[in-house]
A and B are shown apart, each in its own frame.
Chain A
């Protein structure tokens, strides 16, 4: 598309300017090359330099895929700049390729005119064969439309660590640090934080720490001193203007864990976390396992089912039960979720979504568990569902999940995804004192003459009675129960009432009104998102608005129940476009709940949306947009939902 104002996608491509607004760098190498580590440390130094940033770790499901192969390529992309950054960037400006396979897999993403930094030492005949290259792309002219900086990083690394007496194989393990050193020089980043990190990481092996520091310094010095005419030059990026305060970087998995700890404190409850290893959810178990001093018990169960059942058992006994998994594991937990709904006990279920169905794409991101979250249980089993939109947002959303679970005596599902779980962004450290506490209440004596474990409060919640409380003995279970006593009751009227009460309780959960995060509250087009599509939608809508398009961005946190004003809000727009990384699940829920003509924009490639593809789709709704004369979507608010998948 051609637009008046520059977007991320169509910035000039004549190499990097000396002071760009934002830069996208992708580090790519073999799974064993330490690219995630390199990216993580580059992220830290970038954050410390005061730039806003977003990252996208993209790695294979295999732990150590065969060396040099195409499917063994691991990449880490970072977008950083002096302005607000919403996504990890559509296309890299700089590609660091540690071997031929990394080049081959990632070249298509690179911007025309972008810079390739390649290690010639790894472009051996053997590696070229493994990457299915007939000729060396660094030499055959096939990279003519890019800037190429190719030299023997392997050799230079071996040279740099020679004084430490390491064998070649060990020496080459520092290759990533050499490369990181060069990248630090390129973007004028301090080395000290990385020095400190290496010293701490290899505390018990000071030799290894020193070797890595030497490699890092050598890479940095190479940039500084090499008389290189051509593409290598230092780029300066100003710090991003940000609200004053203390900042750190945070991944979604960290933010969820911290939010759960905060939520349990606000509820004044110890937390019990039942988990079972699964990608990409395990990181939450790992984080919480180190926070025992906060009254956290972590339990690695024998399977996903036991993990949730133990969490429900802990909630039954008076703690805040939490479990976490990804799609296939959530499927296994489904029956127990139903019991949590039936017995009306608090429970937080974190679903870090990944590509499905079945095992699907364990390390790739998707939003295709929305139906599973909202509808995926036997019986009429209503459950609140909320979704985090970014790594830092996950902190607040986790607190909200704890609040709803304990205040309404219900399981709550918190949706994140592989992208949010792994990606890092700067985070203004919140002050726990700013959050309103919501202390859990336990019933210790009957409210009237008789003990009625299912008599509801004004919110529709039943009392929480801990075993061990004298005089309050009662029985609960998954069988339909009397609406007051909780005793087994199969009678038709009672089941009707209990079904209605369970539904009403969840329907009436107090959810804040939906706001419009960018643009007007009515107009031509609303782009409605949920979860991790926040970044690309926000940037795309911002760019389109700069081009004069009447488009607003609405991002929904409360998936179920939805904000009560959402229907009216959507009806104020001629069109509603719902981009999501599935086949249109939220679109269907919106249509069902509000009878609005929500149009889907779907993607299930395992990769996040790119800003440019969203801009292209938004543009189709507007007349007079260059390249879109007449508009492909008629501006007719009476338009009925199309049957062919809409505006896709």
Chain B
């Protein structure tokens, strides 16, 4: 793969002439801006960037980014993206999906693109609802969610996107939310990760599931409810007065008080993005007793699928000549001579 050439662009260069058709106030606007703000910082080349999406509100995203874009079919974006990456590994692919598209109809493809580790950024906009079909409960809706299809409240247990991704073999898990000022940092880290980088982005559907994330995303008291993780830094929140420690008896995380900044005495652990076990605990940390873990939860690259495919093709072709005429006449053949037997 060629080293990507860094291109100078501005936010404006990433805007299309298409009218954005999301509901006024939708969290998608903030995510769109965050992405358009991030791409110039990455030195991304619009000609080499491809946004691929499925179906749903989030999947309209490619129409609004001035790059190549492919709005595909419901749930299948990971498969299209895999084909595109195998055909041209140099493309910088961003996948846009939602909780319904990615975890319901497309759960299978999401699992496989993660386990294969195809090099791309996968943004899952989680608004815990089906927006474009007018508000039915989704696989991430909390139990008891009232919707047109669940009039007295949903009763199935919600899927947990980041836990699903980790279980599927993802080597990068990031989390953020639509209006967070840290979202571009998570996107940048995802882009820097070589392999399938999974980012769960909590997104406010102001029409069908309004403010469902306000418990941790509302600006007021955010410090106490958000744990922004940084590699090599202690897991501190609430103005460094609280931290996350490991209870060595129960092998589970716990919130501890930190006095005078002495987090070491309090037993607060240092975030190591390559620690898969701790990443799992951070993902599963129940909000309420714990803050919401945000930022880069896990980042431990391994070889990508497309590199393996290229390597295999190289090995399989070694010493072989791509001669079609010879291929056609391969195996046990016989010759009918023109003189011994005349054509009929």
Could you tell me which A residues sit within 8 Å of B by CB distance? Answer: 44, 47-48, 50, 84, 193, 197, 239, 241-249, 258, 261-262, 265, 270, 272, 274, 290-295, 297, 299, 301-303, 305-307, 309-319, 321, 335-336, 338-339, 343, 429-433, 466-479, 487-488
Contacts and interface: CB of A to CB of B under 8 A. Distances in A.
B336 A245 contact: yes
Residue from A309, A318, A429, A476 with most neighbouring chain B CB atoms (10 Å): A309
Contact of A477 (B62, B66, B309, B322): B62
Given A468-B48, A470-B47, A475-B62, A299 B71 contact: no
Nearest to A320: B87
B324 A261 contact: yes
Contacts of B334: 47-48, 50, 246-248
A249 B71 CA distance: 45
Nearest to A270: B87
Residue from B79, B85, B332 with most neighbouring chain A CB atoms (10 Å): B79
Interface stretch (B150-158, B259-267, B277-285, B312-320): B312-320
Given A50-B334, A292-B316, A293-B316, A474 B71 contact: no
A242 B344 CA distance: 6
B71 A294 contact: no
Nearest to B112: A302
Given A314-B83, A467-B48, A468-B91, A339 B328 contact: no
Which A-B residue pairs are the 9 nearest by beta carbons?
A313-B83, A477-B71, A310-B83, A309-B79, A317-B87, A475-B69, A244-B338, A313-B80, A293-B317
Contact of A306 (B47, B62, B76, B90): B76
Contact of B70 (A265, A294, A307, A477): A477
Interface string B325-344: 10111111111111001111
B88 interface: yes
Contacts of A476: 69-71
B81 interface: yes
B196 to A, nearest CB: 14
B84 interface: yes
A471 B66 CA distance: 10
B63 A306 contact: no
B333 A302 contact: no
30 contacts: A242-B343, A243-B336, A243-B343, A246-B333, A270-B87, A290-B316, A292-B313, A293-B321, A301-B79, A301-B112, A302-B111, A302-B112, A316-B83, A321-B83, A335-B74, A429-B328, A432-B328, A433-B325, A467-B48, A467-B68, A468-B48, A468-B90, A473-B68, A473-B69, A475-B68, A475-B70, A475-B71, A476-B71, A477-B62, A487-B63
B325 A306 contact: no
Interface string B16-60: 101000000000000000000000000000111010100100000
B326 to A, nearest CB: 10
Contacts of A429: 328-329, 333
A47 B70 CA distance: 50
Nearest to B116: A302
B231 interface: no
Given A246-B333, A247-B333, A476-B69, A294 B84 contact: no
